[in-house]
Amino acid sequence: MATKPKLYYFRGRGRMESIRWLLAAAGVEFEEEFIETAEQYEKLQKDGRLLFGQVPMIEIDGMVLTQTRAILSYLAAKYDLYGKDLKETVRINMYADGTLDLMLMIALAAFKPPAEKEESLALVAQKAQTRYFPVFEKILKDHGQDFLVGNKFSWADIQLLEAILMVEELNASVLSDFRLLQAFKTRISNIPTIKKFLQPGSQRQPPPDSHYVEVVRSILHF
Amino acid sequence: MAGKPKLHYFNGRGRMESIRWLLASAGVEFEEKFINTPEDLDKLKNDGSLMFQQVPMVEIDGMKLVQTRAILNYIATKYNLYGKDIKERALIDMYTEGIVDLNEMIMVLPLCPPDQKDAKITLIRERTTDRYLPVFEKVLKSHGQDYLVGNKLSRADIHLVELLYYVEELDSSLLANFPLLKALKTRVSNLPTVKKFLQPGSPRKPPLDEKSLEQAKKIFRIN
Protein backbone atom coordinates (compact mmCIF):
# COMPACT_ATOMS: atom_id res chain seq x y z
CA MET A 1 0.00 0.00 0.00
CA ALA A 2 1.45 3.33 -1.02
CA THR A 3 2.07 5.84 1.74
CA LYS A 4 0.54 9.28 1.45
CA PRO A 5 2.72 12.15 0.30
CA LYS A 6 3.97 14.23 3.25
CA LEU A 7 4.39 17.99 3.08
CA TYR A 8 6.82 19.97 5.25
CA TYR A 9 6.18 23.70 5.57
CA PHE A 10 5.03 26.46 7.89
CA ARG A 11 1.39 26.53 8.94
CA GLY A 12 0.28 28.89 6.21
CA ARG A 13 0.04 29.40 2.45
CA GLY A 14 3.40 30.74 1.33
CA ARG A 15 5.03 28.67 -1.38
CA MET A 16 3.28 25.45 -0.38
CA GLU A 17 -0.31 26.46 -1.08
CA SER A 18 -0.22 25.80 -4.84
CA ILE A 19 1.08 22.31 -4.05
CA ARG A 20 -1.79 21.67 -1.62
CA TRP A 21 -4.26 22.83 -4.28
CA LEU A 22 -2.78 20.54 -6.93
CA LEU A 23 -2.78 17.47 -4.71
CA ALA A 24 -6.30 18.18 -3.48
CA ALA A 25 -7.64 18.81 -6.99
CA ALA A 26 -6.09 15.53 -8.12
CA GLY A 27 -7.93 13.78 -5.28
CA VAL A 28 -4.72 12.81 -3.51
CA GLU A 29 -4.78 12.56 0.28
CA PHE A 30 -1.68 13.97 1.93
CA GLU A 31 -0.15 14.50 5.37
CA GLU A 32 1.53 17.61 6.65
CA GLU A 33 4.21 18.39 9.19
CA PHE A 34 4.00 22.04 10.19
CA ILE A 35 7.25 23.78 11.08
CA GLU A 36 6.51 25.95 14.10
CA THR A 37 9.92 26.46 15.74
CA ALA A 38 13.47 27.26 14.71
CA GLU A 39 14.61 24.00 16.31
CA GLN A 40 12.30 21.96 14.10
CA TYR A 41 13.61 23.73 11.03
CA GLU A 42 17.23 23.30 12.04
CA LYS A 43 16.64 19.61 12.59
CA LEU A 44 15.23 19.23 9.06
CA GLN A 45 18.26 21.03 7.67
CA LYS A 46 20.70 18.92 9.69
CA ASP A 47 18.93 15.71 8.61
CA GLY A 48 20.04 16.63 5.11
CA ARG A 49 16.59 16.34 3.58
CA LEU A 50 16.38 19.94 2.42
CA LEU A 51 18.58 19.99 -0.65
CA PHE A 52 19.29 23.71 -0.50
CA GLY A 53 18.33 24.09 3.16
CA GLN A 54 14.84 25.32 2.25
CA VAL A 55 11.18 24.38 2.31
CA PRO A 56 8.71 23.53 0.71
CA MET A 57 9.70 19.89 0.88
CA ILE A 58 7.59 16.85 0.00
CA GLU A 59 8.23 13.16 0.57
CA ILE A 60 6.60 11.31 -2.30
CA ASP A 61 7.23 8.07 -4.20
CA GLY A 62 10.44 7.39 -2.32
CA MET A 63 11.85 10.82 -3.17
CA VAL A 64 12.53 13.90 -1.08
CA LEU A 65 11.70 16.82 -3.33
CA THR A 66 12.25 20.52 -2.75
CA GLN A 67 11.82 23.60 -4.97
CA THR A 68 8.21 24.60 -5.49
CA ARG A 69 8.16 24.40 -9.28
CA ALA A 70 9.97 21.05 -9.38
CA ILE A 71 7.32 19.65 -7.06
CA LEU A 72 4.42 21.17 -9.01
CA SER A 73 5.74 19.87 -12.36
CA TYR A 74 6.20 16.38 -10.95
CA LEU A 75 2.69 16.28 -9.54
CA ALA A 76 1.14 17.71 -12.71
CA ALA A 77 2.83 15.04 -14.81
CA LYS A 78 2.08 12.22 -12.37
CA TYR A 79 -1.62 13.02 -12.14
CA ASP A 80 -2.10 13.63 -15.84
CA LEU A 81 -2.73 17.35 -15.51
CA TYR A 82 0.05 18.45 -17.86
CA GLY A 83 -1.41 18.20 -21.36
CA LYS A 84 -1.26 15.43 -23.95
CA ASP A 85 1.82 16.61 -25.86
CA LEU A 86 4.64 19.11 -25.70
CA LYS A 87 2.66 21.94 -27.30
CA GLU A 88 -0.10 21.60 -24.68
CA THR A 89 2.48 21.29 -21.89
CA VAL A 90 4.21 24.51 -22.90
CA ARG A 91 0.91 26.40 -22.87
CA ILE A 92 0.08 25.00 -19.45
CA ASN A 93 3.55 26.07 -18.28
CA MET A 94 3.13 29.60 -19.64
CA TYR A 95 -0.25 30.04 -17.95
CA ALA A 96 0.83 28.40 -14.68
CA ASP A 97 4.08 30.42 -14.51
CA GLY A 98 2.09 33.63 -14.99
CA THR A 99 -0.43 32.85 -12.24
CA LEU A 100 2.28 31.54 -9.90
CA ASP A 101 4.21 34.83 -10.31
CA LEU A 102 1.06 36.71 -9.32
CA MET A 103 0.44 34.54 -6.26
CA LEU A 104 4.06 34.73 -5.07
CA MET A 105 3.83 38.53 -5.21
CA ILE A 106 0.90 38.27 -2.79
CA ALA A 107 2.75 35.82 -0.55
CA LEU A 108 5.82 38.07 -0.35
CA ALA A 109 3.77 41.23 0.29
CA ALA A 110 2.78 39.84 3.71
CA PHE A 111 6.37 40.36 4.90
CA LYS A 112 6.64 44.02 3.94
CA PRO A 113 6.14 46.98 6.28
CA PRO A 114 2.47 48.12 6.35
CA ALA A 115 2.63 51.01 3.84
CA GLU A 116 4.70 49.01 1.35
CA LYS A 117 2.46 46.01 1.83
CA GLU A 118 -0.68 47.98 0.93
CA GLU A 119 1.07 49.36 -2.14
CA SER A 120 2.27 45.89 -3.23
CA LEU A 121 -1.16 44.34 -2.84
CA ALA A 122 -2.82 47.17 -4.76
CA LEU A 123 -0.29 46.66 -7.54
CA VAL A 124 -0.98 42.94 -7.62
CA ALA A 125 -4.73 43.49 -7.90
CA GLN A 126 -4.09 45.97 -10.70
CA LYS A 127 -1.76 43.57 -12.56
CA ALA A 128 -4.33 40.82 -12.19
CA GLN A 129 -7.01 42.99 -13.77
CA THR A 130 -4.91 44.50 -16.54
CA ARG A 131 -2.19 42.01 -17.34
CA TYR A 132 -3.27 38.51 -16.35
CA PHE A 133 -7.05 38.07 -16.25
CA PRO A 134 -7.68 39.66 -19.67
CA VAL A 135 -5.35 37.04 -21.17
CA PHE A 136 -7.29 34.16 -19.67
CA GLU A 137 -10.65 35.71 -20.53
CA LYS A 138 -9.50 35.90 -24.15
CA ILE A 139 -8.22 32.32 -24.17
CA LEU A 140 -11.58 31.05 -22.96
CA LYS A 141 -13.39 33.29 -25.45
CA ASP A 142 -11.25 32.20 -28.41
CA HIS A 143 -11.84 28.47 -28.02
CA GLY A 144 -15.16 28.53 -26.18
CA GLN A 145 -14.19 25.45 -24.16
CA ASP A 146 -14.57 24.73 -20.48
CA PHE A 147 -10.86 24.46 -19.68
CA LEU A 148 -7.84 26.53 -20.59
CA VAL A 149 -5.90 23.91 -22.58
CA GLY A 150 -6.85 20.98 -24.76
CA ASN A 151 -10.49 20.85 -23.68
CA LYS A 152 -9.37 18.96 -20.58
CA PHE A 153 -8.89 19.85 -16.92
CA SER A 154 -5.21 20.65 -16.24
CA TRP A 155 -2.84 22.22 -13.76
CA ALA A 156 -3.38 25.57 -15.50
CA ASP A 157 -7.07 25.57 -14.52
CA ILE A 158 -6.29 24.76 -10.87
CA GLN A 159 -3.73 27.57 -10.62
CA LEU A 160 -6.03 30.08 -12.28
CA LEU A 161 -8.86 29.33 -9.86
CA GLU A 162 -6.45 29.58 -6.93
CA ALA A 163 -5.19 32.94 -8.23
CA ILE A 164 -8.70 34.28 -8.82
CA LEU A 165 -9.77 33.45 -5.27
CA MET A 166 -6.57 34.95 -3.83
CA VAL A 167 -6.98 38.21 -5.74
CA GLU A 168 -10.69 38.36 -4.84
CA GLU A 169 -9.59 38.38 -1.19
CA LEU A 170 -7.80 41.67 -2.00
CA ASN A 171 -10.56 43.12 -4.19
CA ALA A 172 -13.90 41.35 -4.34
CA SER A 173 -14.92 42.93 -7.65
CA VAL A 174 -11.79 42.02 -9.58
CA LEU A 175 -13.72 39.72 -11.95
CA SER A 176 -16.46 42.23 -12.71
CA ASP A 177 -15.29 42.76 -16.32
CA PHE A 178 -14.63 39.10 -16.99
CA ARG A 179 -17.81 37.18 -17.68
CA LEU A 180 -16.13 34.00 -18.86
CA LEU A 181 -13.77 33.93 -15.87
CA GLN A 182 -16.77 34.23 -13.57
CA ALA A 183 -18.30 31.16 -15.22
CA PHE A 184 -14.91 29.42 -15.11
CA LYS A 185 -14.61 30.13 -11.40
CA THR A 186 -18.02 28.58 -10.71
CA ARG A 187 -17.40 25.61 -12.97
CA ILE A 188 -13.97 24.70 -11.57
CA SER A 189 -15.08 25.31 -7.98
CA ASN A 190 -17.80 22.71 -8.50
CA ILE A 191 -15.44 19.93 -9.50
CA PRO A 192 -15.96 17.46 -6.61
CA THR A 193 -12.34 17.35 -5.40
CA ILE A 194 -12.06 21.12 -5.51
CA LYS A 195 -15.47 21.65 -3.95
CA LYS A 196 -14.31 19.48 -1.05
CA PHE A 197 -11.06 21.45 -0.72
CA LEU A 198 -13.01 24.72 -0.61
CA GLN A 199 -15.05 23.60 2.37
CA PRO A 200 -14.15 24.51 5.97
CA GLY A 201 -12.00 21.88 7.66
CA SER A 202 -9.99 21.05 4.54
CA GLN A 203 -6.21 21.44 4.36
CA ARG A 204 -6.51 24.78 2.62
CA GLN A 205 -4.69 27.52 4.57
CA PRO A 206 -6.06 31.01 5.34
CA PRO A 207 -4.40 34.24 4.18
CA PRO A 208 -1.21 35.15 6.08
CA ASP A 209 -1.81 37.03 9.35
CA SER A 210 0.65 38.78 11.67
CA HIS A 211 1.20 35.60 13.70
CA TYR A 212 2.20 33.65 10.59
CA VAL A 213 4.58 36.43 9.53
CA GLU A 214 6.14 36.48 13.00
CA VAL A 215 6.66 32.71 13.09
CA VAL A 216 8.26 32.61 9.64
CA ARG A 217 10.48 35.60 10.37
CA SER A 218 11.72 34.06 13.59
CA ILE A 219 12.49 30.73 11.94
CA LEU A 220 14.10 32.09 8.75
CA HIS A 221 15.82 34.97 10.58
CA PHE A 222 14.80 37.94 8.47
CA MET B 1 11.91 23.64 -43.64
CA ALA B 2 11.22 25.09 -40.21
CA GLY B 3 12.60 28.57 -39.58
CA LYS B 4 15.18 29.11 -36.90
CA PRO B 5 13.91 30.06 -33.45
CA LYS B 6 13.87 33.83 -33.00
CA LEU B 7 14.71 35.38 -29.66
CA HIS B 8 13.28 38.75 -28.61
CA TYR B 9 15.20 40.51 -25.81
CA PHE B 10 17.62 43.31 -25.21
CA ASN B 11 21.25 42.87 -26.27
CA GLY B 12 22.45 41.48 -22.97
CA ARG B 13 22.31 38.42 -20.75
CA GLY B 14 19.38 38.98 -18.37
CA ARG B 15 16.75 36.26 -18.42
CA MET B 16 17.44 35.25 -22.01
CA GLU B 17 21.01 34.06 -21.53
CA SER B 18 20.14 30.63 -20.12
CA ILE B 19 17.89 30.12 -23.16
CA ARG B 20 20.79 31.04 -25.48
CA TRP B 21 23.05 28.57 -23.63
CA LEU B 22 20.49 25.76 -23.87
CA LEU B 23 19.75 26.25 -27.56
CA ALA B 24 23.44 26.56 -28.40
CA SER B 25 24.37 23.49 -26.39
CA ALA B 26 21.64 21.54 -28.19
CA GLY B 27 23.25 22.61 -31.46
CA VAL B 28 20.27 24.74 -32.48
CA GLU B 29 20.97 27.82 -34.57
CA PHE B 30 18.82 30.81 -33.71
CA GLU B 31 18.23 34.42 -34.65
CA GLU B 32 17.90 37.38 -32.35
CA LYS B 33 15.85 40.55 -32.66
CA PHE B 34 17.20 43.02 -30.13
CA ILE B 35 15.01 45.45 -28.27
CA ASN B 36 17.10 48.62 -28.31
CA THR B 37 14.60 51.28 -27.21
CA PRO B 38 11.45 51.55 -25.07
CA GLU B 39 9.56 52.03 -28.35
CA ASP B 40 10.79 48.63 -29.61
CA LEU B 41 9.31 47.02 -26.49
CA ASP B 42 6.09 48.97 -26.85
CA LYS B 43 5.73 47.75 -30.43
CA LEU B 44 6.03 44.12 -29.33
CA LYS B 45 3.43 44.73 -26.62
CA ASN B 46 1.03 46.44 -29.01
CA ASP B 47 1.46 43.68 -31.58
CA GLY B 48 0.00 41.26 -29.06
CA SER B 49 3.21 39.25 -29.26
CA LEU B 50 3.86 39.18 -25.51
CA MET B 51 1.28 37.17 -23.61
CA PHE B 52 1.90 38.91 -20.28
CA GLN B 53 3.52 42.04 -21.75
CA GLN B 54 6.97 40.72 -20.84
CA VAL B 55 10.11 39.37 -22.45
CA PRO B 56 11.87 36.96 -22.94
CA MET B 57 9.82 35.86 -25.91
CA VAL B 58 10.90 33.13 -28.32
CA GLU B 59 9.28 32.41 -31.66
CA ILE B 60 9.63 28.67 -32.19
CA ASP B 61 7.62 26.00 -34.04
CA GLY B 62 4.86 28.43 -34.95
CA MET B 63 4.40 29.66 -31.36
CA LYS B 64 5.34 32.83 -29.50
CA LEU B 65 6.52 31.51 -26.15
CA VAL B 66 6.96 33.63 -23.05
CA GLN B 67 7.95 32.87 -19.42
CA THR B 68 11.58 31.84 -19.13
CA ARG B 69 10.87 28.50 -17.46
CA ALA B 70 8.16 27.52 -19.97
CA ILE B 71 10.59 28.28 -22.79
CA LEU B 72 13.45 26.33 -21.20
CA ASN B 73 11.17 23.36 -20.43
CA TYR B 74 10.03 23.27 -24.05
CA ILE B 75 13.55 23.38 -25.46
CA ALA B 76 14.88 20.82 -22.98
CA THR B 77 12.08 18.36 -23.81
CA LYS B 78 12.31 18.88 -27.54
CA TYR B 79 16.07 18.32 -27.62
CA ASN B 80 16.12 15.45 -25.17
CA LEU B 81 17.91 17.21 -22.35
CA TYR B 82 15.31 16.54 -19.67
CA GLY B 83 15.97 13.03 -18.37
CA LYS B 84 14.32 9.76 -19.31
CA ASP B 85 11.27 9.78 -16.99
CA ILE B 86 9.39 11.97 -14.53
CA LYS B 87 11.62 11.04 -11.59
CA GLU B 88 14.77 12.13 -13.45
CA ARG B 89 12.88 15.21 -14.54
CA ALA B 90 12.04 16.01 -10.92
CA LEU B 91 15.74 15.81 -9.97
CA ILE B 92 16.72 17.94 -12.95
CA ASP B 93 14.04 20.49 -12.04
CA MET B 94 15.13 20.58 -8.40
CA TYR B 95 18.77 21.18 -9.35
CA THR B 96 17.78 23.72 -12.01
CA GLU B 97 15.66 25.76 -9.59
CA GLY B 98 18.55 25.98 -7.13
CA ILE B 99 20.83 27.12 -9.93
CA VAL B 100 18.24 29.68 -11.04
CA ASP B 101 17.99 31.07 -7.49
CA LEU B 102 21.74 31.73 -7.26
CA ASN B 103 21.91 32.96 -10.85
CA GLU B 104 19.10 35.41 -10.10
CA MET B 105 21.06 36.90 -7.20
CA ILE B 106 24.07 37.41 -9.49
CA MET B 107 21.93 38.73 -12.35
CA VAL B 108 20.24 41.46 -10.32
CA LEU B 109 23.45 42.62 -8.63
CA PRO B 110 23.97 45.52 -11.11
CA LEU B 111 20.56 46.88 -10.06
CA CYS B 112 21.54 46.94 -6.39
CA PRO B 113 21.90 50.41 -4.79
CA PRO B 114 25.63 51.20 -4.28
CA ASP B 115 25.39 51.31 -0.48
CA GLN B 116 23.95 47.78 -0.37
CA LYS B 117 26.28 46.24 -2.94
CA ASP B 118 29.03 45.01 -0.62
CA ALA B 119 26.53 43.24 1.61
CA LYS B 120 24.89 41.64 -1.42
CA ILE B 121 28.20 40.40 -2.78
CA THR B 122 29.08 38.92 0.60
CA LEU B 123 25.73 37.12 0.65
CA ILE B 124 26.25 35.79 -2.88
CA ARG B 125 29.70 34.47 -1.97
CA GLU B 126 28.32 32.79 1.12
CA ARG B 127 25.43 31.18 -0.70
CA THR B 128 27.75 30.00 -3.45
CA THR B 129 30.24 28.24 -1.19
CA ASP B 130 27.87 27.17 1.60
CA ARG B 131 24.51 26.44 0.06
CA TYR B 132 24.70 25.75 -3.66
CA LEU B 133 28.06 24.49 -4.91
CA PRO B 134 28.48 21.90 -2.13
CA VAL B 135 25.19 20.28 -3.19
CA PHE B 136 26.31 19.74 -6.77
CA GLU B 137 29.82 18.65 -5.78
CA LYS B 138 28.19 16.08 -3.50
CA VAL B 139 25.84 14.83 -6.24
CA LEU B 140 28.78 14.23 -8.59
CA LYS B 141 30.80 12.60 -5.82
CA SER B 142 27.93 10.32 -4.78
CA HIS B 143 27.55 8.62 -8.16
CA GLY B 144 30.95 9.29 -9.70
CA GLN B 145 29.39 9.84 -13.13
CA ASP B 146 30.17 12.51 -15.69
CA TYR B 147 26.81 14.27 -15.49
CA LEU B 148 24.43 15.27 -12.73
CA VAL B 149 21.46 13.05 -13.62
CA GLY B 150 21.06 9.67 -15.27
CA ASN B 151 24.63 9.42 -16.53
CA LYS B 152 23.67 11.59 -19.49
CA LEU B 153 24.02 15.27 -20.40
CA SER B 154 20.92 17.20 -19.39
CA ARG B 155 19.87 20.81 -19.05
CA ALA B 156 20.96 20.69 -15.40
CA ASP B 157 24.60 20.30 -16.46
CA ILE B 158 24.32 23.14 -18.96
CA HIS B 159 22.65 25.53 -16.49
CA LEU B 160 25.21 24.63 -13.82
CA VAL B 161 28.20 25.19 -16.08
CA GLU B 162 26.75 28.53 -17.18
CA LEU B 163 26.45 29.46 -13.49
CA LEU B 164 30.04 28.35 -12.81
CA TYR B 165 31.27 30.78 -15.46
CA TYR B 166 29.41 33.61 -13.68
CA VAL B 167 30.80 32.55 -10.30
CA GLU B 168 34.26 32.57 -11.83
CA GLU B 169 33.68 36.07 -13.19
CA LEU B 170 32.75 37.22 -9.70
CA ASP B 171 35.75 35.53 -8.06
CA SER B 172 37.56 32.49 -9.43
CA SER B 173 38.73 31.46 -5.95
CA LEU B 174 35.12 30.56 -5.13
CA LEU B 175 35.56 27.37 -7.18
CA ALA B 176 38.73 26.34 -5.35
CA ASN B 177 37.21 23.67 -3.13
CA PHE B 178 35.04 22.05 -5.79
CA PRO B 179 37.25 19.80 -7.94
CA LEU B 180 34.39 17.77 -9.41
CA LEU B 181 32.55 20.91 -10.44
CA LYS B 182 35.72 22.22 -12.09
CA ALA B 183 35.99 18.93 -13.96
CA LEU B 184 32.33 19.14 -15.04
CA LYS B 185 32.91 22.66 -16.26
CA THR B 186 35.88 21.53 -18.36
CA ARG B 187 34.08 18.46 -19.67
CA VAL B 188 30.92 20.31 -20.71
CA SER B 189 32.94 23.23 -22.14
CA ASN B 190 34.71 20.77 -24.43
CA LEU B 191 31.52 19.42 -25.97
CA PRO B 192 31.65 20.65 -29.58
CA THR B 193 28.44 22.73 -29.42
CA VAL B 194 29.38 24.34 -26.12
CA LYS B 195 32.97 24.92 -27.23
CA LYS B 196 31.63 26.77 -30.25
CA PHE B 197 29.32 28.87 -28.08
CA LEU B 198 32.23 29.82 -25.83
CA GLN B 199 34.22 31.25 -28.70
CA PRO B 200 34.25 34.97 -29.58
CA GLY B 201 31.63 35.91 -32.15
CA SER B 202 29.00 33.51 -30.80
CA PRO B 203 25.59 34.75 -29.52
CA ARG B 204 26.92 34.52 -25.95
CA LYS B 205 26.59 37.89 -24.24
CA PRO B 206 29.24 39.63 -22.09
CA PRO B 207 28.66 40.95 -18.56
CA LEU B 208 26.61 44.11 -18.35
CA ASP B 209 28.70 47.28 -18.63
CA GLU B 210 27.56 50.73 -17.48
CA LYS B 211 26.25 51.73 -20.90
CA SER B 212 24.23 48.53 -21.42
CA LEU B 213 22.84 48.76 -17.91
CA GLU B 214 21.58 52.29 -18.57
CA GLN B 215 20.05 51.16 -21.86
CA ALA B 216 18.32 48.18 -20.20
CA LYS B 217 16.92 50.41 -17.45
CA LYS B 218 15.52 52.74 -20.12
CA ILE B 219 13.95 49.94 -22.13
CA PHE B 220 12.35 48.26 -19.13
CA ARG B 221 11.52 51.57 -17.44
CA ILE B 222 13.38 50.68 -14.23
CA ASN B 223 13.88 53.57 -11.75
**Where, residue-wise, is CATH 3.40.30.10 in chain A?**
6-79+198-220
Least CB–CB distance from A67: residue in B70, B97, B131: B97
Cα–Cα distance measured from residue B205 to residue B12, given in angstroms and rounded to the nearest whole number: 6
Look at domain A6-79+198-220 and name its CATH class: alpha beta
Q: Which residues of A29-53 are buried (b: 16+ CB within 10 A; e: fewer)?
A: ebebeebeeeeebeebeeeeebbbb
pLDDT for residue A200 is more than 80: yes
Q: A51 contacts in B (CB within 8 Å)?
A: 94, 98, 135
Per-residue pLDDT, averaged over A188-192, amounts to 98
> Would you state the pLDDT for residue A121?
95
> Would you state the pLDDT for residue B221?
83
Q: A220 contacts in B (CB within 8 Å)?
A: none
Determine the straight-line distance between the first and last CA of chain A, rounded to whole angstroms: 42
pLDDT for residue A1 is more than 60: no
Minimum Cα–Cα distance from B89: chain A residue: A74
DSSP symbol at A107: H
Q: Do B70 and A131 touch (CB under 8 A)?
A: no
Q: Do A94 and B86 touch (CB under 8 A)?
A: no
Mean pLDDT by 10 residues, chain B (223 residues): 89 97 98 96 96 97 98 98 98 98 95 94 97 98 98 98 97 97 98 98 94 90 76
pLDDT range class, residue A98, cuts 50, 70, 90: very high
Establish whether the linkage from the previous residue to B56 is cis, with ω within 30° of 0. yes
Parallel, antiparallel, or unpaired: how do β-strands B31-34 and B6-9 relate?
parallel
3-state DSSP call for residue A32? strand
Look at domain A86-189 and name its CATH class: mainly alpha
Per-residue pLDDT, averaged over A164-180, amounts to 97
Q: Do A97 and B70 touch (CB under 8 A)?
A: yes
Percentage with pLDDT > 90 across chain A: 98
**Phi and psi of A148, rounded to 5°?**
-65, -40
Q: Do B67 and A93 touch (CB under 8 A)?
A: yes
Q: B77 contacts in A (CB within 8 Å)?
A: 86, 89
Model confidence pLDDT, tens digit, residues B53-77: 999 999 999 999 999 999 999 999 9
Q: Which residues of B104-120 are buried (b: 16+ CB within 10 A; e: fewer)?
A: ebbbeebeeeeeeeeee
> Would you state the pLDDT for residue A158?
98
> Would you state the pLDDT for residue B210?
87
Q: Do A69 and B97 touch (CB under 8 A)?
A: yes
Q: Do B67 and A97 touch (CB under 8 A)?
A: yes
> Would you state the pLDDT for residue A27?
98
- Please state the three-class secondary structure of B138-203 as a single string: HHHHHHCCCCCCCCCCCHHHHHHHHHHHHHHHHCHHHHCCCHHHHHHHHHHHCCHHHHHHHCCCCC
Where helices occur in chain B by DSSP H, the ranges are: 17-25, 38-46, 68-78, 86-107, 114-126, 133-143, 155-170, 179-189, 192-198, 210-219
pLDDT range class, residue A148, cuts 50, 70, 90: very high
Query: CB neighbours (10 Å) of residue A85?
Result: 8
Per-residue pLDDT, averaged over A193-203, amounts to 98
Question: Is the CB of residue A102 less than 8 Å from the CB of residue A167?
Answer: yes
Burial degree of B16 (CB within 10 A; 0-12, 13-18, 19+): buried
Q: Do B52 and A132 touch (CB under 8 A)?
A: yes
Distance from the Cα of A93 to chain B's closest Cα (Å) equals: 5
Q: Do A87 and B63 touch (CB under 8 A)?
A: yes
Q: What are the Cα distances from residue A220, in Å, to A47, A164, A166, B117? A: 17, 29, 24, 22
Test mutation, A50, A55, A57, A73, chain B, max B CBs within 10 A: A73
User: By a Cβ cutoff of 8 Å, what residues of chain B touch chain A?
Assistant: 51-53, 61, 63, 65-67, 69-70, 73-74, 77-78, 86-87, 89-90, 93-94, 96-98, 101, 131-132, 135
Least CB–CB distance from A78: residue in B53, B69, B86: B86
User: By a Cβ cutoff of 8 Å, what residues of chain A touch chain B?
Assistant: 51-53, 61, 63, 65-71, 73-74, 77-78, 86-87, 89-90, 93-94, 97-98, 131-132, 135
ipTM of the complex: 0.95
Q: Which of A102, A142, A182, A162 is CA-nearest to residue B52?
A: A102
**Where, residue-wise, is CATH 1.20.1050.10 in chain A?**
86-189
